[in-house]
Amino acid sequence: MKTAAKAQPWWTHAVIYEIYPRSFQDSNGDGIGDLNGVTQRLDYLKELGVDAIWLTPFFPSPNADFGYDVSDYTAVAREYGTMADWDRLTREARKRGIRVMVDLVLNHSSDQHPWFKEARSSRNNPKRDWYVWHDPAPNGGPPTNWESIFGGSTWEYDKPTGQYYYHVFLKEQPDLNWASPGLQKAMHDVARFWLRHGASGFRLDATPYLFEDTNWPQDPDVKSGASVGLKPYNSNLPATRAALRGLRKVVDSFHGDRVLLGENAISSIADLRRVYGAKGDEINLPMDFLYKDVASLNASTFKARIDEAELKLDGFPPVFHFSNHDTPRQWSRFGDGLHNDQIARITSAMTLTLRGTALMYYGEEIGMPDLAPEELRDIPLGAKRKVADNRDPERSPMQWSAGKVAGFTSGDPWLPVGRSAAKVNVANAQADQGSLYHWYARLLQLRKTNAALRDGAYVPLESGNDQVVAYARRDTGGKGVLVLLNMSNQAQTLAIEGFKPGGVLAPGAVLMSSLPGAAADLRHPVLEPFGVRLVAFKGG
């Protein structure tokens, strides 16, 4: 008897759409996006064709780092709504086949979290070891010379108890001590809380930093200014692996293929491979920052990044994306000011036709740009804003329609709406069949329905032209899709080596093209400047 192959979990080829809830849709006129706003826009997301949404933190927080300083892990901040709103959001999303993922900030809490208040109340408090404390150096100064990612020392002196506490980010974000069994259990309980409340999984914040080298070495480089970020003493310590496996077990104990999506800064493909776990038992979906951080539209660099993700991750699904709430939008990063729309078609076609899972950032589907420096305005949150300042450009309100507030709010938006909203908005994009929005929607549809794009192998190709990225996806039945991406502003002619398909798959061999009516030439294609082709073929 034939046994049915085990279905792949939903997340192996999903598109997860990141929403910064503060900026997506305001439902009550206070100028701040909220959970009910997201619920209102679920039909939009369904029509676009995404599988899941990941919401950045919406928990109570003093907002020193806009929600990434959590003061209560199991509640909804008043500005975003209530638990009842959350439950409704997940219910309504489920009806539309959309899963909802929560951002779990594991590495640190807010200094206003009751855990930290207890921990700092005395050296003998039972929660003292939920955070990382150290006696002063012999001269009374900080125990080490380490610098925090957001600038300044990683140590903050706590006068009443005479010790320093450690924070790899802001001093308002004391690091949690994952070596403490009590803390680990508390964080597992947080995960269980959201899983019981319908979360389909978590985006894990800043996972490399869970443990520190407790020999507390000095940093020899600190004066060179090269000290911020991944360091052997502050990141990827061996104990991190076991802690993530522990969390994975909790998540796997729930039915329904719940998933962990990791924000795991890495410096090599070997690092990325490790994050999946030796037996695939750590993070299901570690983000590929090597691909995300490619600085310019360069075909050779992209080809190298894609090939290594395909060849060196032992078949685990890579996680491709470009933008998020910490990174300038790809429209602004890759755009040359003249061909931005075409370039956006290249980056989206590439990310969405590869194997694995793709992330999108709200607004990329309409080509939303970053706010220009002159569009920013100072918001009176005082000292609390220092870090968030330079990430405001990519966090501006979603542009739903033309007009001053772009349909985002009926009030005064917390961050300015981009001036581009007059032209770049959902209403305009939906009305124009040739828009980037419809390009994305077609890509998302094709990604789901074309067997080669959905489940097929990745076939690296040599395009014979270093301006063009070429690869194919091929299913086991011998049907495939050839993907050609011209990353230059010149027309390019190709001779694809070692690729001998039986022919194009008629009718409709050209599945998508940036040039309407382009021919389906497999052997010697010609691509216009910044041209994209997806061509269906058979055999070979």
- Count CA atoms within 13 Å of residue 3 on its CB side: 3
Given 18, 26, 51, 65, the residue binding ligand GLC (CB under 6 A): 65
Q: Residue 164: in which H helix or E strand, if any?
A: strand 163-166
Euclidean distance between CA atoms 408 and 368, whole angstroms:
14
Q: Which of residues 306-325 bind ligand GLC (CB under 6 A)?
A: 325
- For the chain, state the CA radius of gyration: 24
Given 43, 221, 326, 497, the residue binding ligand GLC (CB under 6 A): 326
Burial of residue 160 (CB within 10 Å: 0-12, 13-18, 19+) is exposed
Euclidean distance between CA atoms 167 and 131, whole angstroms:
9
Instruction: Give catalytic status of residue 475 as yes or no.
Output: no
Bridge partner list, 482 = 472, 535
Tell me the closest approach of the beta carbon of residue 107 to ligand GLC, in angstroms: 7
Nearer to ligand GLC, 200 or 324 (CB): 324
Identified catalytic residue from 69, 205, 271, 370? 205
Q: How does strand 133-134 pair with strand 163-166?
A: antiparallel
Tell me the closest approach of the beta carbon of residue 380 to ligand GLC, in angstroms: 21
Q: Which of residues 206-245 bind ligand GLC (CB under 6 A)?
A: 206
Considering only CA atoms, which of 218, 191, 13, 14 is closest in space to residue 105?
191
**Residue matched to tokens 């039909």:** 43
Binding-site size for ligand GLC (CB under 6 A) equals 9
By the rule CB under 6 A, 68 interacts with ligand GLC: yes
Tell me the closest approach of the beta carbon of residue 324 to ligand GLC, in angstroms: 7
- Distance (Å) of CA 116 to CA 5, 21, 327: 49, 26, 30
Nearer to ligand GLC, 206 or 344 (CB): 206
- Determine how many CB atoms are found less than 10 A away from the CB of residue 129: 15
Q: How does strand 479-486 pair with strand 532-538?
A: antiparallel
Contact map string, positions 350 to 389, toward ligand GLC, x by CB under 6 A: ----------------------------------------
Nearer to ligand GLC, 54 or 194 (CB): 54
Nearer to ligand GLC, 79 or 263 (CB): 263
Q: Which of residues 161-180 bind ligand GLC (CB under 6 A)?
A: 169
Nearer to ligand GLC, 65 or 370 (CB): 65
Euclidean distance between CA atoms 438 and 525, whole angstroms:
25
Would you state the torsion angle of the CA atoms of residues 531, 532, 535, 540, taken in this order, to the nearest 10 degrees?
A: 90
Tell me the closest approach of the beta carbon of residue 504 to ligand GLC, in angstroms: 43
Nearer to ligand GLC, 71 or 342 (CB): 71
Tell me the closest approach of the beta carbon of residue 431 to ligand GLC, in angstroms: 34
Q: Residue 479: in which H helix or E strand, if any?
A: strand 479-486
By the rule CB under 6 A, 293 interacts with ligand GLC: no
By the rule CB under 6 A, 415 interacts with ligand GLC: no
By the rule CB under 6 A, 113 interacts with ligand GLC: no
- Closest residue to ligand GLC, judged by C-beta, is 68
Q: Residue 53: in which H helix or E strand, if any?
A: strand 52-55
> Could you tell me how far CA 179 lies from the centroid of its own chain?
27
By the rule CB under 6 A, 205 interacts with ligand GLC: yes
Instruction: Give catalytic status of residue 205 as yes or no.
Output: yes
Nearer to ligand GLC, 27 or 107 (CB): 107
Euclidean distance between CA atoms 58 and 453, whole angstroms:
34
- Distance (Å) of CA 92 to CA 26, 85, 86, 202: 17, 10, 10, 19
Tell me the closest approach of the beta carbon of residue 475 to ligand GLC, in angstroms: 36
Tell me the closest approach of the beta carbon of residue 46 to ligand GLC, in angstroms: 26
Q: What is the DSSP letter of 383?
A: G
Active site residues: 205, 263
Interface ranges with ligand GLC (CB under 6 A): 65, 68, 105, 169, 205-206, 263, 325-326
